[in-house]
Amino acid sequence: MTLKEFLENYGGNACVTIDGYCEEENYDYYEEVDEDYLSDDNPNHYQPTCIAEESWWSDIKDREIKSWNIIGGGVYKVELCIALD
């Protein structure tokens, strides 16, 4: 399964580590979204993030997943950890 396929099935809004690319990054969206979704025009001025907007996304989105794991919980942040082939 490719990284893009996996994240589309996983859903959105999670803390993600992809070996060699990002560590404990929070992403709200895993697919390309309209710029309106990424606006901070909301009551809390929170600006959502999209992994598809990262400069390295096009280089890795079609790579196969070697392994993945979910770590954390309790007092620790829950994090999706992914290693690519």
Pairwise CA distance, residues 40 & 17, whole Å: 24
Each of the 85 residues of the chain gets a pLDDT tens digit; together they read 999 999 988 877 889 999 999 999 988 877 777 777 777 777 777 777 888 889 999 999 999 999 999 998 888 888 999 999 9
Nearest to 60 by CA among 34, 39, 30: 30
pTM here is 0.81
Instruction: Determine the pLDDT at residue 59.
Output: 96
Predicted local confidence at residue 9, as pLDDT: 86
Hunting for tokens 């598809």 — which residue is that?
52
Q: Give the number of C-alpha atoms closer than 13 A to the C-alpha of residue 15, restricted to the C-beta side.
A: 10
Residue 9: which of 53, 68, 57 has the closest Cα? Answer: 68
Two structure tokens written together for 39: 């606006």
Domain ranges within the chain, ordered by starting residue: 3-84
* Alpha-helical regions (H) of 1-85: 3-10, 57-60
